[in-house]
Amino acid sequence: MVLLIIISIIWIILWYMAKPANDFCNSLNASDDLKLITLKANSFGYSLLKESGGLKVVTRQSSFMSFSCLISIEQGHITNKEVIIGD
């Protein structure tokens, strides 16, 4: 029972920390272009990093991990978006 409580607490903390990245990814439409994505990221104060084939929007940074919305872009429009975790 104690183990279940500990796992639940960790899951809730990680969900809370990842929520901004998840919300940002969900706010993007397939028709959004690079300029609009940049404007949205800057308006929230998020870091924007160019990745091969797309962008990484870092929404949460802490001393031990960060959460990002990884956006794949082809022909100027979004083809895929996902929340990733990194350090």
Residue 86 has pLDDT above 80, yes or no: no
pLDDT at 10 over 90: yes
Model pTM?
0.82
In the chain, the largest separation of any two C-alpha atoms, in whole Å, equals: 51
Mean pLDDT of 7-15: 93
Structure tokens at 24: 């940002």
Query: pLDDT digits over 12-69, tens only?
Result: 988 988 899 999 999 999 989 889 999 999 999 998 998 888 899 988 666 677 889 9
Q: CA-to-CA distance for 59 and 67, rounded, in angstroms?
A: 6
The DSSP output letter for 54 is E
Dist. CA 48–CA 58, nearest whole Å:
6
Domain boundaries of the chain, sorted by first residue: 2-86
